Copies of this chain bind each other. A is one copy, B any other.
Amino acid sequence: MQKQFTIPLSPRGLSSIAPPPPWHYSGDFLLVEFWADPAAAAAVLPKGLSIDPASPGHATALFIDWQFTAQDDELLDPARYQYREFFILIDALYDGKPVSYCPYIFVDNDSAMMRGLIQGFPKRYGQVYQTRSFAARSPAAAPVAAGTRFAATASASGQRLARAEVKLEQAVADVSKLGIAGRPVVNLRYFPRLAAGEHQTPAVNELVMSIMDNAQIADVWSGEGKLSFPLAEGEEISDLQPVRVGAGFRGSMAYSVTDLKTLVDNTK
């Protein structure tokens, strides 16, 4: 078996920031759909993607508590591999087909950051939290039931970037209508050159499509959504401030990753 997939290429592969694929993920999510100003949404799209005229400015904000494992029982080393994530997906068109694009994403774990960069997710470090649900009942349990509220926040460098809240109303029978289910994710895979004179000609510059194997969605509830992106110094996420907020969803999801499809290679 392959020992080393990414840096550091340590002799036994243990010190590597991320193990080789396949990468497996299971997690709980809080999702709120929203509409940003269409011009602001268009401004974050890379060359090759355009706003979907069927849903201009439509987007989803996702907060996920993730568990990760590969082939070496990584889920038994939660201090190194368990993580939490916040990201935004913007409705877009690629070659006439509906896709979604991730302009901003934050995680609290370096292995997840590197795996994301390799997939084209533009990951930065952040602190992400969501209300959890526990089986043993108290006023702190947040049972998955009508009326329960779940909240989530994301911050970076000590500034809050996002807050969401969903009040559960009903279980979702058909999850195919969820934003995360319907549109493949297209990312910009990008790694710069530092050689003088080449700062504008990246070594990797590809439009790629995520391939999620064995995608599972379970226990999804929908309800009223709330979402805001507080103004934060030196950050642009609030340019996507919701002009309208739609439904919210809370559930569990899983998938595996072993592949990535290059749509357009703009590397020169």
Q: CB of A96 within 8 A of chain B? A: no
Contacts of A151 in B (CB 8 A): 75-78
Contacts of A256 in B (CB 8 A): 138-139
Q: CB of A8 within 8 A of chain B? A: yes
Copies in the complex: 4
Determine how close the nearest CB of chain B comes to the CB of A171; give it in whole angstroms. Answer: 12
Q: CB of A194 within 8 A of chain B? A: yes
Q: Is the CB of A27 within 8 A of B136?
A: yes
Contacts of A219 in B (CB 8 A): 135-136
Q: CB of A241 within 8 A of chain B? A: no
Q: CB of A60 within 8 A of chain B? A: no
Tell me the A71-110 residues at the B interface (CB within 8 Å). Answer: 73, 75-80, 82, 103-105, 109-110
Contacts of A8 in B (CB 8 A): 103-105, 122, 124
Determine how close the nearest CB of chain B comes to the CB of A143; give it in whole angstroms. Answer: 9
Contacts of A190 in B (CB 8 A): 6-7, 9
Instruction: Pick from B9, B10, B21, B113: contact of A194, CB below 8 A.
Output: B21
Q: Is the CB of B203 within 8 A of A203?
A: yes
Contacts of A50 in B (CB 8 A): none
Contacts of A165 in B (CB 8 A): 76
Q: Is the CB of A216 within 8 A of B158?
A: no
For chain A, what secondary structure do more than half of its interface residues adopt (helix, strand, loop), or is it mixed? mixed
Contacts of A141 in B (CB 8 A): 26, 67, 254
Contacts of A252 in B (CB 8 A): 134-136
Q: Is the CB of B21 within 8 A of A199?
A: yes
Q: CB of A51 within 8 A of chain B? A: no
Contacts of A118 in B (CB 8 A): 191-192, 194
Instruction: Pick from B131, B158, B216: contact of A76, CB below 8 A.
Output: B131
Q: Name 16 A/B residue pairs within 8 A (Cβ), A-sorted.
A: A8-B104, A9-B122, A11-B43, A14-B234, A26-B136, A67-B132, A75-B151, A79-B127, A79-B158, A82-B131, A127-B158, A136-B217, A136-B251, A158-B160, A160-B233, A195-B260
